[in-house]
């Protein structure tokens, strides 16, 4: 299952994943448990981090020109490039 598909499944279950540095943060709807998903979230952490970052970049770019935040764009782009460099160096 792709990270995008897992995020969609989690969202449908009331589980929202965000990125905080190299960590994932999980927010759940009241009464929802992540127990059934925890193993898959852990196993797919690198792919989930990448997917969430990609979504952040798209969201930062998908604004009216007057609302474009260059600093946020540059910060996210730097994270993306660092992540690519890390993945390229992994055997």
Residue pLDDT, tens place only, 9-60:
999 999 999 999 889 999 999 999 999 999 999 999 999 999 999 898 888 8
Determine the Cα–Cα distance for residues 88 and 85; give it in Å rounded to an integer. Answer: 5
Enumerate the domain spans of the chain. Answer: 3-89
**Crossing angle of the two packed helices 3-12 and 45-61, in degrees rounded to 10:** 80
User: What is the C-alpha to C-alpha distance for residues 66 and 64, in angstroms, rounded to an integer?
Assistant: 5
SS3 at position 17: strand
- Characterize 40-62 residue by residue with b for buried, 16 or more Cβ atoms within 10 angstroms of its Cβ, and e for exposed: ebeebeeebbbbbeeebbeebee
- Rounded to two decimals, the pTM is 0.75
């Amino acid at each position: 299952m792709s990270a995008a598909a897992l995020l969609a499944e989690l969202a449908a279950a009331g589980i929202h994943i965000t990125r905080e540095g190299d960590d994932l943060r999980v927010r759940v709807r009241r009464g929802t448990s992540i127990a059934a998903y925890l193993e898959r979230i852990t196993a797919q952490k690198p792919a989930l981090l990448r997917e969430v970052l990609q979504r952040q970049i798209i969201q930062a770019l998908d604004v009216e020109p007057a609302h474009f935040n260059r600093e946020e764009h540059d910060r996210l782009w730097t994270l993306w490039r660092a992540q690519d460099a890390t993945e390229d160096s992994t055997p």
